[in-house]
Amino acid sequence: MTDAATLADRVQSGDLRLYELEAHADAETAATARRLILERETDAELETVGSYSFDAGQAADANIENGIGGAQLPMGVAGPVRINGGAADGEFYLPMATTEGALVASVNRGLSTIDAAGGATARVTDSGMTRAPVFRVEDVAEAEHVIDWVNANLEALKAAAESTTSHGELLDIDPSVVGDNVYLRFVYDTKDAMGMNMATIATREAATVVEAETPAELVALSGNLCSDKKPAAVNAIKGRGRTVTADVCIDRELVEERLNTTPEAMAEGNTRKNLVGSAKAVSLGFNAHAANTVAAMFLATGQDAAQVVEGSNAITTMDVREDGLYASISFASLEVGTVGGGTKLPTQQEALNVLGLAGSGDPPGKNADALAEVIAVGALAGELSLVAAFCSRHLASAHEELGR
């Protein structure tokens, strides 16, 4: 601890910068020194922040700079639930990290209903991580020339991009023109990695070729048509990460017993709230609270929390069928990985092991597909539970009176 105190003194005297400590001590000591500084300069005591289970050095390498310790969120579990997925096949417990009371209970109730109905179906219907650099050209005539060149040289660009990665594959390059801006949206198969870094590095290499062979000048490796961590229609329409749907049919009796309402009330509530209400709000989210489940499972399994923004973009449907209720949720751009990023941290790795989805899948990409399917089922459960909650009191009785 002497060491940390000395480092703290040196920072406070101006001898060292806050971010230079790792050059003079191990990461744990550096973090301790920073806590000391903060404790001296603010009213904070940082006892629990200083209590963490991950390796400070590994975190400093991969996840954090100016580390001071850890943040802790409560983790709960929901399920089990049977899933008939394209990749996820079997029974799953869902780990969720959240500070919002009632969320895990809500998802758990929904999963229990889904399980009683025979489980959920889920499929990844599209997949691809994107990066879209923006180039400056002289005018639209030059833009046309650049795009023609790109379309004629896809193989060369693929070779350049893939030279930077052992796993990733360039699937497509999708061009757009706005005046003297050319945006090239590169789409990659990044297997079990969420893949942003892989896509960025590969795209940089390909962009260098475009610059060398055409008059286009690179302005930024991301021109916001990717689109990362923004709620953009381009992702809603073209997908990013996994495009995934989960659905279930629930018998009328089960709807009445478990959810205390009727299929008709559920369908009406979903239409008035999730479809018409969202339309009037000019929303990119036609669901009740998909972001809650996405955020909680992202945090538990080491995903990028900022990608909840586009990851939670989802449409929920509920319809009456002859035999009961059909309910679905369709995510456009759920960016997930089971390797890299925060997945290696210890609590996150343990949570992935609860799902049986840590590390690379067989074949590669299968684990990330499965994680997407499981999250979609969790979110479907959350939708069922919340819509049922507000329908049970009001709508159900109204529907009964009407004899529907």
Comparing CA positions, the residue from 311, 309, 323, 314 lying closest to residue 270 is 314
Q: Using the rule CB under 8 A, which residue among 342, 361, 365, 378 binds its own copies?
A: 342
Residues of span 249-268 touching its own copies by CB under 8 A: 249, 268
Q: Using the rule CB under 8 A, which residue among 57, 215, 277, 364 binds its own copies?
A: 277
Q: Which stretch binds its own copies (CB under 8 A): 5-13, 61-69, 252-260, 363-371?
A: 61-69
Q: Which stretch binds its own copies (CB under 8 A): 1-9, 143-151, 154-162, 164-172?
A: 143-151
Q: Which amino acid is at 63?
A: N
Q: Using the rule CB under 8 A, which residue among 7, 8, 67, 250 binds its own copies?
A: 67
Regarding 221 and contact with its own copies (CB under 8 A), the answer is: yes
Contact by Cβ (8 Å): 270, 326: no
Q: Per DSSP, what are the bridge partners of residue 218?
A: 135
Q: Quote the DSSP letter at residue 281.
A: T
Q: Using the rule CB under 8 A, which residue among 25, 156, 201, 305 binds its own copies?
A: 305
Q: Which stretch binds its own copies (CB under 8 A): 4-12, 62-70, 165-173, 250-258?
A: 62-70
Q: Using the rule CB under 8 A, which residue among 11, 33, 117, 134 binds its own copies?
A: 134
Which residues participate in catalysis according to the annotation? 100, 304, 399
The minimum distance between CB 231 and its own copies, in angstroms, equals 3
Regarding 113 and contact with its own copies (CB under 8 A), the answer is: no
The phi, psi pair for 320, rounded to 5°, reads -80, 130
Q: Cα–Cα–Cα angle for 211, 214, 215, nearest 5°? A: 85
The phi, psi pair for 278, rounded to 5°, reads -65, -35
User: Which tokens is 224 given?
Assistant: 């916001």
Q: Which stretch binds its own copies (CB under 8 A): 1-9, 155-163, 252-260, 289-297?
A: 289-297
Contact by Cβ (8 Å): 223, 200: no
User: Which tokens is 18 given?
Assistant: 């806050």
Residues of span 144-203 touching its own copies by CB under 8 A: 144, 147, 176-181, 183
Nearest CB to its own copies, comparing residues 159 and 171: 171
Cα–Cα distance measured from residue 239 to residue 235, given in angstroms and rounded to the nearest whole number: 4
Comparing CA positions, the residue from 65, 79, 148 lying closest to residue 113 is 79
